[in-house]
Amino acid sequence: MTLRRTLISAAMLLVCSAPVLARQAPVPADPGGGQVSEYRLPPDKLERAEGLYRTRNVLLIVETAYGFALLTLVLSLRVSARFRSFAERVSRRRVVQAAVFVPLLILTIDVLSLPIGVYRQHLGLEYGLSVQSWPSWVWDWTKSELITLVLSTVLIWGFYGLLRRSPTRWWLWTWIACLPLIVLLVFVTPVLLEPLFNRFEPLVKTQPQLMAPIRSVLARGGVEIPDARMFEMAASEKVTTYNAYVSGIGASKRVVVWDNTARELTIPQTLFVFGHEMGHYVLDHIWKRLAFLSVALLLVFWLAYRTIGWVLARWGERWAVRAVTDWASLPALLLMVTLFTFVVQPCILAFIRYQEHQADIYGLEVLHGLVPESSQVAAQGFQKLGEKAYAYPTPNRFLVFWTYDHPDIASRVRFALDYRPWDRGEANAFVK
């Protein structure tokens, strides 16, 4: 668990118009494969899926334990205390001390965590899920590290300023200060950050054959998403899997379809994927997720405040940490935030899975009547997604509960085939 991932997790917990057509354009009937009755893999892919599943489970345990151990080691060996003392020798000004201390700590922890990231990339290459070259991967890591250094230096400097001024209410003021910063970060990410790592083109330019069917889906849902807010990402330059997503808020809000998805799925299957993301877009899931995560963040901050005093009273002298306001206390604070984030993680992921399930419902409803056998089309899309990613058909239910941010593929296939309110004369949940 790198410091970058810890900070991102904490931040997330903190973190051209196209008129709707009056008449719906016809969508070609192209189911693209045999009938799907349940998610299953052929023997060769099942063996690889099981191997990948077991390896990832072990890696998850190792990465989690290593993350806690690394922060503890940095404290026990007084690494953060040495960095603190060096920063204080450089300057008496707090802002200069932050500019020295924070990058030193981040680079130390992230470099020590690098072998896990390297192994994850190796695993992706071994299973054919990644095609990214090592120089490209290292350059992405470097860019991410530079962004992390700049953002975290400024944020941690501000955080310690609040900590010094309000020793008993810092958790509340920090939470309040974080809310607009998170909104700003979500707003600028698709415009400033995502293009640093992937190439984006307007969907109308790269997939013109999809635009008429997509406008039919928009018309079916009574929604208008301008062409300027629909993009294709050149994911095939780095990965082989399928995906799409919604990002941004307000003027930066957009729907992104990976080029692998648009190229290798049939048009009806791609429309279901688009309908799913359209559900996130229409149901304002980003705002709702931010609200939910903000509440969770407040709880995590409060728990960290309630425990950090006891932790430093018990081990602070051994770690050469003078007080909670000491720069050297940062790994201890991160340890507390990481621990309590881990504890509340199942609740957070349950909420995210619920939103993904809602988006599946929306996708099924908005596709019904536009393509023949829309439920089968959705099931086939999930089948292809699972096969491409080597998704294990029968994951442990506890692992799904604790670590999955989407329902497992087998459950999604079953639901896609079973959810047919129109056959029972029942009203749709979202698309009227």
Under a CB-based contact definition with an 8 Å cutoff, are residues 78 and 319 in contact?
Answer: yes
DSSP 244: E
* 16, pLDDT greater than 60: no
Residue with tokens 């300057």: 91
Under the banding of pLDDT at 50, 70 and 90, the label for residue 230 is: very high
Can you say how many angstroms the Cα of residue 346 is from the centroid of all Cα atoms in its chain?
15
DSSP 52-120: HHHHHHHHHHHHHHHHHHHHHHHHHTTHHHHHHHHHHHH-SSHHHHHHHHHHHHHHHHHHHHHHHHHHH
How many Å apart are CA 245 and CA 363, to the nearest integer? 13
Backbone conformation region of residue 222, classed left if phi is above 0, alpha if psi is from -120 to 50, else beta:
left
Q: What are the pLDDT digits (tens) for 19-46? A: 222 233 334 444 445 799 999 999 999 9
DSSP 159-228: HHHHHHH-TTTHHHHHHHHHHHHHHHHHHHIIIIIGGGTS-EEEHHHH-HHHHHHHHHHHHHHT----GG
Q: What are the pLDDT digits (tens) for 309-361? A: 999 999 999 999 999 999 999 999 999 999 999 999 999 999 999 999 999 99
- For the entire predicted model, the pTM comes to 0.90
How many Å apart are CA 79 and CA 154, to the nearest integer? 21
How many Å apart are CA 87 and CA 94, to the nearest integer? 9
Q: What are the pLDDT digits (tens) for 67-100? A: 999 999 999 999 999 999 999 999 999 999 999 9
Residue with tokens 């877009």: 281
DSSP 347-398: HHHHHHHHHHHHHHHHHHHHHBTTBTTHHHHHHHHHHHHHHHHT--SS--HH
